[in-house]
Amino acid sequence: MSVLVVAEHLQGRVRDVTYELVSAAGALDGPVTVAVIAEDPPSLDVNREGVDEIVHVRVAQREFENDVYQAALEGLIAERRPDVVLLGFTVNSMGYGGAVAAKLGLGFASDVFAVAQEGGSIVATRAFYGSKVHAELEFPPDTPVLLLLRPTAWPPAAAGGSPTVSEHALGPVESRARHRELREAARGDVDITTADFLLSIGRGIGEQENVAMFEELAEKIGATLSVSRPIVDAGWMSNARQVGQSGKTVKPKVYLAFGISGAVQHLAGMKTSETIIAVNTDPEAAIFDVAHYGAVADLFDVAEELTKLV
- How does DSSP assign 42-79, residue by residue? ------BTT--EEEEEEES-SS--HHHHHHHHHHHHHH
Integer Cα distance of 94 and 112 in angstroms: 13
Decide: 265 and 130 in contact? Cβ < 8 Å: yes
Q: Which residue has the higher pLDDT, 39 or 289?
A: 289
Average pLDDT over residues 189-210: 92
What residues contact 188, with CB distance under 8 A and at least 6 apart? 238, 239, 240, 241
Residue 168 predicted with pLDDT over 60: yes
Burial of 295 (C-beta count, 10 Å sphere; 0-12/13-18/19+): middle
DSSP class of 252 = -
Whole-number average pLDDT of the chain: 88
Which range, of 11-15, 107-111, 259-263, 305-309, averages the lowest pLDDT? 11-15
Write down the pLDDT at residue 302: 95
pLDDT digits (tens, 9 = 90+) for 235-250: 999 888 999 877 888 9
Q: Which residue has the higher pLDDT, 114 or 169?
A: 114
Instruction: Choose among 223, 167, 169: nearest CA to 197.
Output: 223
Q: Which residue has the higher pLDDT, 85 or 177?
A: 85
Residue 42 predicted with pLDDT over 80: no
Write down the pLDDT at residue 268: 80
Which range, of 63-67, 75-79, 224-228, 297-301, averages the lowest pLDDT? 63-67
Question: Into which CATH architecture does domain 3-170 fall?
Answer: 3-Layer(aba) Sandwich (3.40)
Split at pLDDT 50, 70, 90, the class of 63 is low
* Strand-pair partners of 170: 59
Write down the pLDDT at residue 130: 64
What residues contact 299, with CB distance under 8 A and at least 6 apart? 204, 205, 258, 259, 279, 280, 281
Give start and end residues of each alpha helix (H) in 29-168. Answer: 66-80, 91-94, 97-104
Write down the pLDDT at residue 219: 94
Q: How many CB atoms lie within 10 A of CB 90?
A: 16
Domain spans of the chain?
3-170, 192-309
CATH match for 192-309 among 3.40.50.720, 3.40.50.1820, 3.40.50.1220, 2.40.160.40: 3.40.50.1220
pLDDT digits (tens, 9 = 90+) for 136-152: 999 998 889 999 998 87
Same CATH fold, 192-309 and 3-170? yes
The reported pTM is 0.76
DSSP helix/strand/coil, 250: coil
Average pLDDT over residues 117-138: 86
Write down the pLDDT at residue 48: 80
Distances (CA, A) of 265 to 36, 134, 141, 174, 259: 32, 14, 34, 39, 15
- Give the CA angle between residues 276, 279, 281 to the nearest 5°: 145
Residue 62 predicted with pLDDT over 60: no
Q: How many CA atoms lie within 13 A of 12 on its CB side?
A: 3
Distances (CA, A) of 210 to 30, 42, 176: 54, 48, 52
Share of the chain above pLDDT 70, in %: 92
The span from the first CA to the last CA of the chain, in angstroms, equals 53
Decide: 228 and 202 in contact? Cβ < 8 Å: yes
Write down the pLDDT at residue 161: 75
Integer Cα distance of 196 and 255 in angstroms: 8
Split at pLDDT 50, 70, 90, the class of 14 is confident
Average pLDDT over residues 112-136: 87
Share of the chain above pLDDT 90, in %: 54
DSSP tally for the chain: helices H, then strands E: 8, 16
Residue 10 predicted with pLDDT over 80: no
Decide: 148 and 92 in contact? Cβ < 8 Å: no
Integer Cα distance of 249 and 181 in angstroms: 25
